[in-house]
Amino acid sequence: MPRPISAVIHLQNFTHNLSVTRRHAGASKIWSVMKADAYGHSIKHVWKALSSTDGFAILDLHEAILLREEGWTGPILLLEGFFQQDDLKVVDQYQLTTSVHSDWQLDAIENATFTAPISVYAKLNSGMNRLGFSPDKYADAVKRLSSMSNVSSVTLMTHFANSDLTTGTDLPHQRIKPFIDHNYPVCIANSGATLWHPKTHYDWVRSGVILYGASPSGKWQDIADKDLRATMTLRSQIIGMHYIAAGESIGYGSKFTASQPMKIATVACGYADGYPRHAPTGTPVWLNGQRCALLGAVSMDMLTIDVSECQEVSIGDEVELWGKNLPIDDVAQAAGTIGYELMCALAKRVPVLYEE
């Protein structure tokens, strides 16, 4: 028998979350962002549940090739563009839309031979200082791209660092506005902007984390009114139980010491499954309809929870680490991270079930 841990991917909730996203995006088209193998959910298994999207945005060329081989014929956007000149052969063969953020990429496109002109996204660095042309170089880059016979269309693109904040898109939006005219489509909104900044929607939005039912801000209460649903449940079982006296400690480093007698349970889930090792005592875990607290250090394969307040609890009981009953954001927040990181970090050794 395998260890009693598994992840369940709720495919119908992708379709639901896409319809919630659609409601917010209004008339704008949606790039469903599936980088990092669909935020840890597996592109191969989940893309069909999102196939009413207008396009898929990914990062790695092999993700794009997989989508084409799976039968997706719609638009595919390379969010970080191509990484070397040679990649343009793949862009051409698989009809990919590529973002362009650096001078060398302008030269590469100009010098390439395509079977048909390609669509490009010209990226502006509007203040995040990660990728993109600086505002003083942007107009020239856009002009150069649109004059190339190798290029069929240019879309204006930038990215927001603070779209979870009320005024977080103001400055970057201000910085791209001078370049927006009716000649070019515009695509600047990520999930946070899709939900909270309708003025940034323009022609296309790029929504990622909300399709996976988590909050762009990392806080579940910020999306509690949006009817977004969890797409990943991580669950396991209780494999051991103990009564401990006051003064007894739990786990590596004896990081938790009981101040009163306690009933505790050992769960078959640890950091080698993708559970955050830095989750502190008090991190919520779902058991038999209630929240229990994590106690002490998370081990490689196990963690311990407080079941003192649980009436009926026994070995074999199912435990939810995050998912349908316990928002991944709440677990992430307790552990000082964001839902994005937890879902992407689901470990290979965890068996995954895809539920229709």
The SS3 call for residue 108 is: helix
Q: Measured between alpha carbons, how far is 122 from 164 in angstroms, rounded to an integer?
A: 24
Question: What's the min distance (Å) between Cβ of 216 and ligand PLP?
Answer: 5
Q: Which of 29, 35, 143, 324 is labelled catalytic?
A: 35
Q: Closest Cα partner for 170 from 126, 205, 206, 209?
A: 126
Residue 32 engages ligand PLP in binding (rule: CB under 6 A): no
Counting Cβ atoms within 10 Å, is residue 182 exposed (0-12), middle (13-18) or buried (19+)?
exposed
Q: Cα separation of 313 and 264, whole Å?
A: 10
Cβ nearer to ligand PLP, comparing 223 with 265: 223
Whole-number minimum distance, CB 317 to ligand PLP, in Å? 34
Q: Which of 159, 173, 201, 235 binds ligand PLP (CB under 6 A)?
A: 159
Separation CA 72–CA 178 (nearest Å): 35
- Residue in 88, 209, 262, 264 binding ligand PLP, rule: CB under 6 A: 209
Contacts (CB under 6 A) with ligand PLP, residues 74-93: 79
The answer to whether the CB of 73 falls within 8 A of the CB of 53 is: no
**Least separation, in Å, of the C-beta of 39 and ligand PLP?**
7
What are residue 338's phi and psi, to 5 degrees? -125, 155
Among positions 40, 132, 208, 213, the unique one binding ligand PLP when judged by CB under 6 A = 208
Contact 58, 35 (CB under 8 A): yes
End-to-end CA distance of the chain: give it in Å, rounded.
25
The nearest distance, CB 13 to ligand PLP, in angstroms, is 16
Q: Does residue 222 sit in helix, strand or coil?
A: helix
- Window contacting ligand PLP (CB under 6 A); options: 142-150, 204-212, 251-259, 292-300: 204-212
| Stretch of residues binding ligand PLP (CB under 6 A), selected from 60-68, 132-140, 206-214, 275-283 | 206-214
Tally of CA atoms within 13 A in the half-sphere of 316 that contains its CB = 1
* Nearer residue to ligand PLP within complex by CB, 56 or 322: 56
Tell me whether residue 263 is one of the annotated catalytic residues. Answer: no
Is 206 a binder of ligand PLP (CB under 6 A)? yes
Residue nearest to ligand PLP (CB): 208
State in angstroms the smallest separation of the CB of 223 from ligand PLP. 12
Q: How many residues line the site for ligand PLP (CB under 6 A)?
A: 11
Place of tokens 């979350």: 17
For residue 131, give both structure tokens: 């990728």
Mapped onto helix, strand or coil, the DSSP state of residue 27 is: coil
Q: Which long-range contacts (CB under 8 A, 24 or more apart) does 89-93 make?
A: 90/61, 90/64, 90/65, 91/118, 92/116, 92/118
Cα–Cα distance measured from residue 140 to residue 81, given in angstroms and rounded to the nearest whole number: 19
Shortest approach of ligand PLP to residue 209 CB, angstroms? Answer: 4
Stretch that binds ligand PLP, among 45-53, 203-211, 224-232, 321-329 (CB under 6 A): 203-211
Which CB sits closer to ligand PLP, 130 or 242?
130
- Based on the residue annotation, tell me whether 137 is a catalytic residue of this protein: no
The active-site residue, picked from 137, 177, 243, 252, is: 252
Burial 117-151 (b: 16+ CB within 10 A, else e): ebbbbbbbbbbeeebbbebeebeebbebbeebebb
**Contact map string, positions 165 to 194, toward ligand PLP, x by CB under 6 A:** -------------------------xx---
Find the binder of ligand PLP among 216, 274, 296, 339 (CB under 6 A).
Answer: 216
Shortest Cβ distance from residue 334 to ligand PLP (Å)?
Answer: 21
Q: Does 207 bind ligand PLP (CB under 6 A)?
A: yes
3 is in an annotated binding site: no
Rounded CA separation 205/187 (Å): 6
**Which residues lie near ligand PLP (CB under 6 A)?**
33, 35, 79, 159, 190-191, 206-209, 216
Q: Which residues are annotated as a binding site for substrate?
A: 130, 300
* Catalytic residue positions, numbered: 35, 252
Q: Which residues are annotated as a binding site?
A: 130, 300
